[in-house]
Structure 1
């Protein structure tokens, strides 16, 4: 399994992410990554964003995803997902602060059985079911 993300080439092996990953932990849009030929990467410089990922056994409806998009747009942030909504990725600036993000994500996830969310980058192991 692999995920293709938009990025800007900075040097031969250094890229600035233009989007946050939905399936990979440890990075977010705005981070500078050094990428090896085998696909492994290291974050050289952390950007200004949190990457929040959501998935689970529950089915996320188009309506609930639309509600999340509106809620995170007010932070400001961006919620994205593939057409089948099998996972969701939210990019929010670090300046917003985790308590605000947690409140928005907890409120959204509370209405969907089996869906969990977590911070995909950083040292915080925040998650909710």
Structure 2
């Protein structure tokens, strides 16, 4: 069985123009080929279940899609764990997972694309709209805002 490891991927540019990285839990398939086990919060373009080829410096390419959509919620106020119950229930019904790190600065949701975009958006909007929270897709659009269409 391949070992679990962490890979450091480029997540973007910081306010000072420096590269920002996120460490992502993976399983090594080959020396530079990894199965993403944990959906990253800030590395755009991937979700749990994807296979990626990691390049020197933290760049990567998606070799195979695992079929999961990534959503990122940046709440205005950090939610208490009990505030997440309705969100978790909604995404449990869709086969998804809702994750809140200990610092409660953001929420990462992984949900199968097979659940359908209408159902996903209804579930996330029902929780975020009353709170005034912002959410976005992490692996649905390219940097120019064009749909990636990997789910077709």
Answer yes or no: is 1:91 the counterpart of 2:110. yes
Aligned partner of 1:54 in structure 2 is 73
Instruction: Specify the structure having the higher radius of gyration (Cα).
Output: 2
> What CA distance in whole angstroms lies between the structure 2 residues aligned with 1:111 and 1:16?
36
Answer yes or no: is 1:20 the counterpart of 2:56. no
> What CA distance in whole angstroms lies between the structure 1 residues aligned with 2:140 and 2:127?
22
Higher mean Cα deviation, 11-20 or 54-63? Answer: 54-63
Answer yes or no: is 1:37 the counterpart of 2:62. no
Answer yes or no: is 1:75 the counterpart of 2:90. no
> What CA distance in whole angstroms lies between the structure 2 residues aligned with 1:8 and 1:69?
26
Q: CA deviation at 1:57?
A: 3.2
Answer yes or no: is 1:116 the counterpart of 2:134. yes
What are the ranges of 5 or more consecutive residues in structure 2 without an aligned counterpart? 1-19, 142-146
SS at match of 2:111: strand
> What CA distance in whole angstroms lies between the structure 2 residues aligned with 1:48 and 1:61?
30
Q: CA deviation at 1:2?
A: 3.1
Per-residue Cα deviation, 1:49-96 (whole angstroms, up to 9, x for no partner):
001111143433322223211221111110002112101110101110
Normalised by the length of structure 2, the TM-score is 0.75
What are the ranges of 5 or more consecutive residues in structure 1 without an aligned counterpart? none
Aligned length: 124
Q: Using a 3 Å threshold, how does the CA distance of structure 1 residues 29 and 88 change in structure 2: closer, same or farther? A: same
> What CA distance in whole angstroms lies between the structure 2 residues aligned with 1:37 and 1:67?
41
Which is bigger in relative contact order (C-alpha 8 A, separation at least 6)?
A: 1
